[in-house]
Amino acid sequence: MSRFFNATIQENVPVHANHNLLTLSIPEGAPAPLPGQFFMLQVSRGSDPLLKRAFSIFRTTQQGVQLLYRIRGRGTEILRTMKEGAVLEMLGPLGNCYPNPPRDKMPLILAGGIGIASVFPLIEKFAGRSIVFYGARTKDDLLMKDKAEKLSKKLFISTDDGSAGSRGTIAAVLSSFLADPHSPIPDCHIYACGPHPLLRAVSEIAERHGVTAYVSMEEHMACGIGACLGCVVKTRSGYSSVCKEGPVFKSTEIVW
Amino acid sequence: MSRFFNATIQENVPVHANHNLLTLSIPEGAPAPLPGQFFMLQVSRGSDPLLKRAFSIFRTTQQGVQLLYRIRGRGTEILRTMKEGAVLEMLGPLGNCYPNPPRDKMPLILAGGIGIASVFPLIEKFAGRSIVFYGARTKDDLLMKDKAEKLSKKLFISTDDGSAGSRGTIAAVLSSFLADPHSPIPDCHIYACGPHPLLRAVSEIAERHGVTAYVSMEEHMACGIGACLGCVVKTRSGYSSVCKEGPVFKSTEIVW
Amino acid sequence: MDIAVRIGSLELKNPVMTASGTFGYGEEYAEFMDLNKLGAVVVKGLSLTPKEGNPPPRIVETASGMLNAIGLQNIGIERFIQEKIPFLRTYDTKVIVNFFGDSVAEYVAAAERLSCEEGIHGLEMNISCPNKQKGWCIFGTDPRVAAEVVSAVRKATRLPLIVKLSPNVTDIALMARVAVDAGADALSAINTLTGMAIDIRTKRPKLANRTGGLSGPAIKPVALRMIYEIFSAVKVPIIGMGGIMNADDAIEFILAGSSAVAVGTANFINPLAASEILEGITAYMKTEKIDNIAHLTGVAHET
Amino acid sequence: MDIAVRIGSLELKNPVMTASGTFGYGEEYAEFMDLNKLGAVVVKGLSLTPKEGNPPPRIVETASGMLNAIGLQNIGIERFIQEKIPFLRTYDTKVIVNFFGDSVAEYVAAAERLSCEEGIHGLEMNISCPNKQKGWCIFGTDPRVAAEVVSAVRKATRLPLIVKLSPNVTDIALMARVAVDAGADALSAINTLTGMAIDIRTKRPKLANRTGGLSGPAIKPVALRMIYEIFSAVKVPIIGMGGIMNADDAIEFILAGSSAVAVGTANFINPLAASEILEGITAYMKTEKIDNIAHLTGVAHET
Ligand SMILES: Cc1cc2nc3c(=O)[nH]c(=O)nc-3n(C[C@H](O)[C@H](O)[C@H](O)COP(=O)(O)OP(=O)(O)OC[C@H]3O[C@@H](n4cnc5c(N)ncnc54)[C@H](O)[C@@H]3O)c2cc1C
Ligand SMILES: Cc1cc2nc3c(=O)[nH]c(=O)nc-3n(C[C@H](O)[C@H](O)[C@H](O)COP(=O)(O)OP(=O)(O)OC[C@H]3O[C@@H](n4cnc5c(N)ncnc54)[C@H](O)[C@@H]3O)c2cc1C
Ligand SMILES: Cc1cc2nc3c(=O)[nH]c(=O)nc-3n(C[C@H](O)[C@H](O)[C@H](O)COP(=O)(O)O)c2cc1C
Ligand SMILES: Cc1cc2nc3c(=O)[nH]c(=O)nc-3n(C[C@H](O)[C@H](O)[C@H](O)COP(=O)(O)O)c2cc1C
Ligand code: FES
Ligand code: FES
């Protein structure tokens, strides 16, 4: 089965202000996506917008793959208007995935905003075993909070405006958690996805505490398969492509 | 009321292979279109395709204005996929109109292919009084034949392949009609819309018989309001814009 | 909020103008938009005597753009003065006349004639047109020829003189310097990129003229880059254009170095584009707490 | 039906190649498409030593196009030979290596090194890159510099030499003649148009490198016009590219004067683009009853 195929929209429903859950049925035999991998979708038939949009695999259900997306610009606005039955060109699953923690390590999963989409498969995978840190701008931007609560051993919440959980960034919450003498350090691994400054903060915190952290990076993409060299981030071994060598990197690999 | 407004699709139904009938509700107070006038529709929100598409007013009903269109290229292909409730930017009514014949003249109305859309309002206007000549490629490309039959005093049909009416061009039918000693010449006026070569032929025939003919021309358009000078045809007084000085010209005005 | 801009000795009440050839002689759009809202109306390019223009087809749609080969059809300066100026004078907006010639002498004669009429506030010289004296060369692509024609026109008029640059050159900054050294009070950029389209059924160019000028969103990145380069090269105000469809686009041009912007192909898509763009610019200034539009010009150059 | 084309001494089994920098080193697309179907694989531009490239962001989407400022990141010729050639040699397709240098000496050294390896069938010289010796100048925009570097490389290799022209020039026909006179066996055109985009929130250029190269459907009209002009100016085969998304586009390029075509940005949109374009070309030839692709090249010039 080729990783380039037509997917059919099963459902495309708002889950929150400005966020939709998209369910796509994909051809049989398509490779199953791993946590941290992503797909690219062609949202137009014409040449404007031209490039595919990248979305992390959020869940795999019997109906197909689910993507959770934030309406951000023109491409996602077009996607929002698409209805059941519409057919989209799709590329994926792409990229590497979040590595498994060694048996004895506890997964700490951190998400900022729509970053929840990327780490959600981990939350499901480590059901009942992981501690989840989830930050968003406001209460209304917290998606899938109840699901995350059910699936995690413990869920920490923060919002920029304090409308839910503690006020401030979720990195600060992680930091206090790790600073707590009862923390399971160094017996944990961090998995994080969110805006660049948040990931940088997480990386610093992890380093300070001697904890291994994996971060999922974002960059503008054209090909999605490592051919154009457009989506690079600076790493200790030079520029690496987010689409192929990433999106998940060890935080110490990144030159922040 | 501005001639630039949002129109809402009421219905967009196939009437034949590759031809749709589009009904649009337009804002109250919009000027009523005259036979021969046209509208321009923006079929995309993005910048590709960029330009508006021109369509003749086919009918005005209680529901709104109706356009009859042939799926031809990318723009009409997009239009075909649009559903009830979709909102389109629209400009019009644009251009001049078919002039009324003097009281004592009989209207001869000629259409080639989708040209039927443009002359249909005349067929309705002169219900029972006009002779209609309607040519198409094949039987399957004859739209609204029954309606035209009902509304005309007499309907002549031709198809390129002879699958309905006489075989050959409808210009040939007009020519024999006018050559017939019982023809109402010179007491008739011709109104024609169709492909350029057909209109040229009609023009020659009319001239030969000393009959006045009006032809509705087509050119690629950008502005639709006479500003860009993109849509000109050569006339005896220089290049004239089809969108503003036309689309209807006296056939003798055109430099063929 | 101060949104007035100066183009040489000319003060516009706001930075939004129309691009020549896309707004007719102004009256075509008066039905849709209050022309009083515009900083300036730039009319279709005029020549001393009327020009018939190119045979059709003159227009081809391309991806996010269009090619035009109008061939500079216009009613000539005399008819413009007789028939169009009286209408334009009823509006409280500046009138800038775009003009061109086949030869240096024609440019000069046109500029002289236009300079002695009331109701014309500035001249925009289109130098992207073929030079009949020198065969195939285009005035605007050869620095020496451009210098010659701009200097000659400079001597022929006291009106603010805007030189409109052709983008079909290796070094737009050089052309900008040449025009300014020859006396331009301001520059406008960019004119259309030369392009072509071929009909694969007839196997012939789609335009009767074979080539045409590419405009619209497709060319915006090239236009912005050129504005950015021109801004670094000269001190005079720049009127930026090339694919501006909305206020965000216009703001990009201002940040790149434009003092004013011109709306071209966008008029065809949305006859209210120019006035909506003005509204969008002032809304942006409010959000960004910028009280003088001049403070935005060229900001993208700061590091 | 004869669809083989000759590029100098090189015979391609069909006219469809990939555009450098848009197809990696070939292997990235092998999963999607049978590389045996291609007339040639043109690999990412290589330099003597590896290049790190520009900092991100390197890519911006524009209307029907994209800007890239990869900065010629590549693994260097040695690693290419070690790691990529063995894979490419398993395919029955021609391998054309795109290369560049910072100086004439580097160009020559690169060409020499590439010429002594099995499995490389042709060289494509990218002259749209900055000339470190001469500061800001670009090899491909100054005719004298272009002549110098092409002549030097011509002496350094016996492989078919394709010179890839920059479109950012006033007179592409002149640059074509210069390249051919200096020894090019074929020309490819066009490389990207230099462009820019600005973020109106940060008020800074969106690309870290400020400017980038515009590719995709937006530039097709400009590319076609340039192919048309080059075809009139020189006799050598032209490899046409710039916004080719489908077979119809490719056929336009052939009618304008291309002997072969290269598929660039389209690979990102549809990883099967190149093979679908080949199928479309042969379907067109069938419909149009053309039995030799050479009979299509330049037909749009006939009147
Ligand atoms: C590996 C990866 C996984 C992602 N997963 C998700 C997800 O699960 N849910 C979700 O809502 N979003 C996700 N994103 C971000 C998503 O790709 C962008 O929000 C989307 O491309 C915006 O498109 P637009 O047309 O609406 O915005 P516009 O701003 O109009 O887009 C313009 C261009 O910029 C690119 N772009 C804009 N924002 C981003 C961004 N943050 N990252 C990469 N390219 C961008 C677009 O792809 C497009 O090429 C992911 C991005 C990456 C790289
Ligand atoms: C005054 C007028 C009235 C018209 N009335 C009708 C009508 O009632 N019903 C109908 O089906 N068609 C009508 N047409 C033709 C219709 O405008 C075209 O079929 C349509 O624009 C094709 O668009 P496309 O995107 O599908 O084709 P494409 O070929 O993809 O279009 C590419 C470009 O060419 C232009 N174009 C293509 N064909 C024509 C054409 N024949 N005339 C003008 N521009 C063209 C398009 O507008 C677009 O800018 C009319 C044209 C004019 C000028
Ligand atoms: C149909 C058309 C006609 C034009 N005529 C002229 C003209 O007469 N003189 C001139 O200097 N520029 C002319 N231009 C160029 C525009 O003024 C403008 O520079 C160019 O279109 C780029 O802007 P845009 O992309 O916003 O349209 C014309 C452009 C178009 C599309
Ligand atoms: C991401 C990217 C990288 C490119 N890298 C190179 C390169 O290394 N060498 C080169 O000569 N051209 C390079 N090009 C230019 C293309 O080969 C091609 O000339 C150009 O993109 C126009 O074709 P297109 O519009 O079909 O993409 C690159 C283009 C893109 C989009
Ligand atoms: S998007 Fe092309 S290398 Fe990552
Ligand atoms: S379409 Fe612009 S003048 Fe007719």
d(CA B42, CA B223) in angstroms, rounded, equals 12
Tens of pLDDT, residues B209-240: 889 999 999 999 999 999 999 999 999 999 99
pLDDT-derived band at A104, boundaries 50, 70, 90? confident
d(CA C232, CA C227): 9
Q: Say yes or no for a CB contact (<8 Å) between C218 and D252.
A: no
**% of residues, chain A, pLDDT over 70:** 99
Closest CA to A90 of D44, D32, D25: D32
Whether residue D235 is contained in a domain is answered as yes
Chain D residues touching C277 at Cβ < 8 A: none
Q: Work out the pLDDT band at B187, boundaries 50, 70, 90.
A: confident
What confidence score (pLDDT) does residue D137 get?
65
Q: Output the pLDDT for position D128.
A: 87
CA nearest neighbour of C70 among B232, B51, B253, B256: B232
The chains in contact with chain B, meaning 3 or more Cβ pairs closer than 8 Å, are A, C, D
Contact between residue D96 and residue D41 where contact means Cβ atoms under 8 Å apart: yes
B125 CB near ligand 2 (under 6 Å): no
Residue C143 domain flag: yes
Is ipTM > 0.85 here? yes
Walk along chain C (303 residues) and give the pLDDT tens digit of each residue: 999 999 989 999 999 999 999 999 999 999 999 999 999 999 999 999 999 999 999 999 999 999 999 999 999 999 999 999 999 999 999 999 999 999 999 999 999 999 998 999 999 999 987 766 665 567 888 999 999 999 999 999 999 999 999 999 999 999 999 999 999 999 999 999 999 999 999 999 999 999 999 999 999 999 999 999 999 999 999 999 999 999 999 999 999 999 999 999 999 999 999 999 999 999 999 999 999 999 999 999 987
Q: How far apart, in whole angstroms, are the C-alpha atoms of residue C221 and residue D67?
A: 8
Distance of residue A44 Cα from the nearest chain D Cα, in angstroms: 11
CA distance D231 to D236: 8
**Burial label, D201 (beta-carbon count in 10 A; 0-12, 13-18, 19+):** exposed
Q: Is the pLDDT of residue A68 over 80?
A: yes
Distance CA C196, CA B25 (A): 38
**Number of CB atoms found within 10 A of residue C51's CB:** 19
CB contact under 8 A, B47 and D217: no
Q: Is B39 a pocket residue for ligand 2 (Cβ < 6 Å)?
A: no
Residue D265 inside a domain? The answer is yes
> Cα(A180)–Cα(B256) distance, rounded to whole angstroms?
89
Nearest residue to D207 via CA among C171, A220, A217, C241: A220
Please tell me the pTM assigned to this model: 0.97
Would you say residue A30 has pLDDT above 90?
Answer: no
D60 part of a folded domain: no
Concatenate the DSSP letters of all residues of chain D into one string. -B--EEETTEEESSSEEE-TTSSTTSHHHHTTS-GGG-SEEEEEEE-SS-B--PPSP-EEEETTEEEE-----B-HHHHIIIIIHHHHTTSSSEEEEEE--SSHHHHHHHHHHHHTSTT--EEEEE--SB-STTTT-BGGG-HHHHHHHHHHHHHH--S-EEEEPPS-SS-HHHHHHHHHHTT-SEEEE--PEEEE-EETTTTEESSTTSEEEEESGGGHHHHHHHHHHHHHH--S-EEE-SS--SHHHHHHHHHHT-SEEEE-THHHH-TTHHHHHHHHHHHHHHHTT--BGGGTTTGGG--
Tell me the DSSP string of D130-171.
B-STTTT-BGGG-HHHHHHHHHHHHHH--S-EEEEPPS-SS-
Q: Is A81 on the interface with B (CB under 8 A)?
A: no
Q: Decide if C61 is inside a domain.
A: no
- The predicted-structure confidence for A180-237, as pLDDT tens digits, reads as follows 888 777 688 999 999 999 999 999 999 998 899 999 999 999 999 999 999 999 999 9
B117 lines ligand 2 (CB under 6 A): yes
Query: pLDDT tens, D242-291?
Result: 999 999 999 999 999 999 999 999 999 999 999 999 999 999 999 999 99
- Nearest chain A residue to D243 by CA: give it: A47
Distance of CA A118 to the CA centre of its chain: 2
Q: B130: which 2 tokens?
A: 């006009």
In a domain, C66, yes or no: no
pLDDT on residue C234? 98
| Helices D104-115 & D143-156 angle (0-180, nearest 10) | 30
Q: Residue holding tokens 């949104």?
A: C3
The ligand minimizing its distance to the Cα of A232 is: 5
Binned at pLDDT 50, 70 and 90, residue B181 comes out as confident
Instruction: Give the C-alpha distances (Å, rounded to integers) separating B194 from A67, B67, B131, B134, D104.
Output: 50, 16, 17, 10, 62
Query: Measured between alpha carbons, how far is residue C133 from residues C50, C67, C101, C105, D173 in Å?
Result: 19, 26, 11, 10, 21
CATH number for D41: 3.20.20.70
Looking at residue C303, its pLDDT comes to 76
Token digits for B222? Answer: 């950008």
Write out the two tokens for A50: 């031209």
Question: What is the CA(C205)–ligand 3 centre distance, in A?
Answer: 21
Atom 28, ligand 3: residue with shortest CA distance = C21
What is the distance between the alpha carbons of residues B109 and B95, in angstroms, rounded to a whole number?
19
Instruction: Return the bridge partners of A54, or none.
Output: A40
Could you tell me which residues are beta bridge partners of residue B167? B159
Q: Is residue C205 part of a domain?
A: no
CA D275 – CA D254 distance, rounded (Å) = 17
**Chain D residues closer than 8 Å to C204 by CB:** 300
Q: How far is the CA of B221 from the centre of ligand 2 (A)?
A: 9
Each residue's pLDDT tens digit, C142-173: 999 999 999 999 999 999 999 999 999 999 99
A17 has pLDDT over 90: no
Per DSSP bridges, beta strands C40-46 and C59-62 are unpaired
Return the number of other C-beta atoms located less than 10 Å from residue C124's C-beta.
27
The per-residue pLDDT for B104 is 78
Q: How far is D195 from chain B (nearest CA, A)?
A: 18
First-last CA distance in chain D = 26
Extract long-range pairs of D248-252: CB within 8 Å, 24+ residues apart. D248/C200, D248/D280, D249/D217, D249/D220, D249/D277, D250/D15, D250/D16, D250/D277, D250/D280, D250/D281, D251/C200, D251/D280, D251/D281, D251/D284, D251/D296, D252/C197, D252/C198, D252/C200, D252/D220, D252/D224
The residue of chain C nearest to residue A46, with distances taken between CA atoms, is C63
d(CA B194, CA D268) in angstroms, rounded, equals 42
Give the number of A-C residue pairs with CB atoms closer than 8 Å: 6
Angle (deg, nearest 10), helices C172-181 and C220-233: 50
The answer to whether residue D212 neighbours chain A at the CB level (below 8 Å) is no
Select the more confidently predicted residue: D134 or A179.
Answer: A179
Q: CA D174, CA D234: separation in Å to the nearest integer?
A: 10
pLDDT for res D136: 57
Nearest CA-CA partner of D137 in D111, D105, D168, D172: D168
- Contact status, residue A221 vs residue A242, Cβ threshold 8 Å: yes
Q: Is the CB of B115 under 6 A from ligand 2?
A: no
Is the peptide bond preceding residue D86 cis, with omega within 30 degrees of 0? no
The predicted pLDDT at position A74 comes to 93
CA B14 remoteness from chain centre: 18
CA–centroid distance for C264 within its chain:
8
If DSSP codes are grouped into helix, strand and coil, which group holds residue B157? Answer: strand
B48 interfacial to chain D (CB closer than 8 Å): yes
Nearest to A226 among D28, D58, D272 (CB): D28
Q: How many domains does chain C have?
A: 1
Residue A47 distance to chain B (closest CA, Å): 6
**C135 occurs within a structural domain:** yes
The 10s digit of each residue's pLDDT in A120-172 is: 999 999 988 899 999 999 998 898 888 888 999 899 999 999 898 899 999 99
Domains of chain A: 4-93 (2.40.30.10), 106-253 (3.40.50.80)
- Give catalytic residue positions of D: 129
**Strands, E assignment, chain C:** 5-7, 10-12, 16-18, 40-46, 59-62, 65-68, 94-99, 122-126, 161-164, 186-189, 193-196, 198-199, 204-205, 211-215, 238-240, 260-263
Domain that holds residue D160: 5-54+71-199+213-301
C65 has a chain D CB within 8 A of its CB: yes
Atom of ligand 4 nearest to the CA of D188: 19
**Ligand lying nearest the CA atom of residue A219:** 1
B74 to chain A, any CB pair closer than 8 A? The answer is yes
Are A47 and C217 in contact (CB < 8 Å)? no
| D102 touches D114 (CB < 8 A) | no
Chain B environment of C214 (Cβ under 8 Å): none
Tell me how close the Cα of C261 comes to any Cα of chain D, in angstroms: 15
Under DSSP, is residue B103 helix (H, G, I), strand (E, B) or coil?
coil
Are the CB atoms for C16 and C263 separated by under 8 Å?
yes
Residues C246, C219 contacting (CB under 8 angstroms): no
Cβ-based contacts of B46 with chain A (< 8 Å): 44, 46, 48-49, 74, 78
Q: Determine the distance separating the centroid of ligand 6 and the alpha carbon of B240, expressed in angstroms.
A: 10
Nearest CA to ligand 2 atom 20: B53
Residue nearest to atom 13 of ligand 1 (CA): A55
Which residues on chain C are in Cβ contact (under 8 Å) with D141? Answer: 170-171
> Given this model, what pLDDT does residue B186 score?
67
Angle of helix A196-209 versus helix A170-179 axis, rounded to 10: 10
